[in-house]
Amino acid sequence: MTARNRLRWFGGSGLVIVLAVVAGALIGGVTGEAIEIALASVGGIAIVSLVFFEVGLSEDRERERETAQARERERPVERIRRRPPLRRRRP
């Protein structure tokens, strides 16, 4: 998921919360409150889920970085050429 898509998802979730407040004010009564609570809950859950998703992505990036660093540390050892074993000369 690109940064632009993540921004759209966060914006859409915020928009759902704003729509919840507007719908609650326009509809009024118990029905308006129920719609407001439902939409605000969906928007809030979406935002919290996206935050956890972002944390997971940052952990994945950090793990990839650590793996790359570990590979770089191992490479110099692999590049060292070992001498071929000595062969005994026969007299």
Q: Residue ranges per domain, the chain?
A: 3-79
Q: 3-state DSSP: the chain helix, strand, coil percent, rounded to 5?
A: 85, 0, 15
Q: 28-86: per-residue pLDDT in tens?
A: 889 999 999 999 999 999 999 999 999 999 999 999 999 888 887 776 555 566 777 77
Max intra-chain CA distance, the chain = 108
What is d(CA 64, CA 41) in angstroms, rounded to the nearest whole number? 35
Write the single-letter amino acid at 20.
A
Q: Residue 76 has what pLDDT?
A: 56
What is d(CA 25, CA 44) in angstroms, rounded to the nearest whole number? 19
| Other CB atoms within 10 Å distance of the CB of residue 68 | 10
Write the single-letter amino acid at 79.
R
